[in-house]
Amino acid sequence: MLARWFPLLLCVQMCFWDSGSCGKVLVWPTDASHWINLKMILGELILRGHDVTVLVPSATLLIDYDDPTSPFDFEVLKVPFTKETVKTVLQDFLSLCLYEKPHLSHWEALVKIRQMMTTFTKMSKQTCDGFVLNPKLITKLRHGGFDVLISDPLAPGGRPTTLCETMGKAEMWLIRTYWDFEFPRPYLPNFEFVGGLHCQPAKPLPEEMEEFVQSSGEHGIVVFSLGSMIHNLTDEKNNMIATALSQLPQKVLWRYKGKKPETLGTNTRIYDWIPQNDLLGHAKTKAFITHGGTNGIYEAIYHGVPMVGIPIFADQPDNIAHMRAKGMAVELDFNTMKAQDLVDAVNMVVNNFTYKENAIRLSQIHHDQLVKPLDRAVFWIEFVMRHKGAKHLRPAAHQLTWYQYHCLDVLAFLLTCATVTLFIAVKCCLFCCKKCGRIVRKRKTE
């Protein structure tokens, strides 16, 4: 359910405070991987001369508000939890997804996930309170003359509201995907698909890494990352994975922060961090083993690298299903996979040319755009600023109640009409029949 909304990156809203001046942007971000996309857009807005103010909770993972070189103004919202708490909550959530969920019934899993969501919602509300209960900050922002609010609806904030209500207020939606990834379907004119906006041509690798990559010879390399959130795995899993990787003819670069597996092969190197986009854009790269986060998927599409997907949570299973349907990925189940499955999957996407062909086809579709995704994202934000909104793109459906939206009122009216007509017709018939009956009886008695 929630996963359906993960691809949504931003909704662009006009600020509720009126403004005279131009080019002032207020941002309500979401932490972690979503920030990577948003930061690109905000950087571009800065280059174009806009002022950017970011509202950020005092406990964040990726948003570095202390960085003196940052071009953004940060307004820090005091929250009663620390970065460590955020990390712990995330770790609990991940260990639920990775290790506990497969052993729970659907119902138990649902209850557990609901508990987790309650914790997330509470933290989200505390972040909001950091804003709402800070009159000084509100006054400051009110007089700030902002032209536009960019918010990431994964952590919508705001007063008690529904997702529908929040969505209804957005002038413009920027979606983190594009038609290379999506299946064709109708959509509203205030949706713009800007997936892959963070991708760039590969830059040279660090020297040591480049040497390792070059040492792979004709077999090339495999890039492996389960994303920025999964730092460590159980010994059993990491040994199983290391065993599988050691059987590949390629050299493997594995992003992993946990304990070094005992079965680590000589062809595999572990890195705390890898320049993923640059590696995927490297000529020697043959395959990408990924958890299926949107950012990684787009880097692979951009550079035309086939994938082995090991989805874990949120939108990842859905993302990998898309890539599988488009013939660019093989999917594995983290819980049931054996070392041999991983070896087979990598060999499949490397040696069966259809995967590479499809990857290149999607990559060509991705690159063949009239205007680049980042430029389109910036265009629409500036459009909303210039025209004080984009009301002409807004469907009237937002003003309807749910029964009006589904035409239930019309249906009820038609049903009533039909019932009344039927009732009158039946009554008339009965009346006529009775009349006829009486005449016949009268004749008979005569």
Ligand X SMILES: *[C@@H]1O[C@H](CO)[C@@H](O)[C@H](O)[C@H]1NC(C)=O
| Interface with ligand X (CB under 6 A) | 232-234, 352, 354
Closer residue to ligand X (CB): 43 or 327: 327
HSE toward the beta carbon, residue 251, CA cutoff 13 A: 18
Q: How far is the CB of 70 from ligand X (least distance, A)?
A: 29
Q: How far is the CB of 333 from ligand X (least distance, A)?
A: 17
Closer residue to ligand X (CB): 97 or 245: 97
Closer residue to ligand X (CB): 215 or 352: 352
Closer residue to ligand X (CB): 8 or 359: 359
DSSP strand pairing (148-151 vs 8-13): antiparallel
Contacts of 94 (CB under 8 A, 6+ apart): 229, 230, 312, 313
Q: How far is the CB of 308 from ligand X (least distance, A)?
A: 13
Q: How far is the CB of 272 from ligand X (least distance, A)?
A: 14
Closer residue to ligand X (CB): 118 or 234: 234
Other beta carbons within 10 angstroms of residue 164's beta carbon come to 9
Q: For residue 13, what are its two tokens?
A: 């809203």
Tell me the C-alpha distance between 214 and 361, whole Å.
Answer: 26
Q: Which residue is nearest to ligand X (CB)?
A: 352
The type of residue at 168 is: G
Q: Where are the beta strands (DSSP E) in 272-416?
A: 285-290, 307-309, 329-331
Closer residue to ligand X (CB): 340 or 352: 352
Tell me the C-alpha distance between 356 and 40, whole Å.
Answer: 29
Closer residue to ligand X (CB): 205 or 328: 328
Contacts of 446 (CB under 8 A, 6+ apart): none
Tell me the C-alpha distance between 326 and 360, whole Å.
Answer: 11
Taking each helix axis from N to C end, the angle separating 353-367 and 294-303, rounded to the nearest 10 degrees, works out to: 100
Closer residue to ligand X (CB): 27 or 270: 270
Closer residue to ligand X (CB): 7 or 327: 327
End-to-end CA gap in the chain: 78
HSE toward the beta carbon, residue 338, CA cutoff 13 A: 1
Q: How far is the CB of 330 from ligand X (least distance, A)?
A: 8
Q: For residue 290, what are its two tokens?
A: 């990924």
Give how far Cα 439 sits from Cα of 160, 425, 427, 428, Å. Answer: 72, 21, 19, 17
Tell me the C-alpha distance between 410 and 416, whole Å.
Answer: 10
Q: How far is the CB of 327 from ligand X (least distance, A)?
A: 6
Tell me the C-alpha distance between 273 and 127, whole Å.
Answer: 29
Tell me the C-alpha distance between 432 and 77, whole Å.
Answer: 79
Given a contact cutoff of 8 angstroms between Cβ atoms, the answer to whether 41 and 381 are in contact is yes
Q: How far is the CB of 182 from ligand X (least distance, A)?
A: 21
Collapsed DSSP state (helix, strand, coil) of residue 370: coil
Tell me the C-alpha distance between 442 and 431, whole Å.
Answer: 17
Other beta carbons within 10 angstroms of residue 214's beta carbon come to 13
Q: How far is the CB of 286 from ligand X (least distance, A)?
A: 15
Q: For residue 109, what are its two tokens?
A: 């899993």
Element (H, E) at 251: strand 251-255
Closer residue to ligand X (CB): 352 or 419: 352
Q: How far is the CB of 233 from ligand X (least distance, A)?
A: 6
Closer residue to ligand X (CB): 53 or 243: 243
Given a contact cutoff of 8 angstroms between Cβ atoms, the answer to whether 374 and 40 are in contact is yes
Closer residue to ligand X (CB): 118 or 354: 354
Q: How far is the CB of 236 from ligand X (least distance, A)?
A: 9
Q: How far is the CB of 274 from ligand X (least distance, A)?
A: 20
Q: How far is the CB of 96 from ligand X (least distance, A)?
A: 12
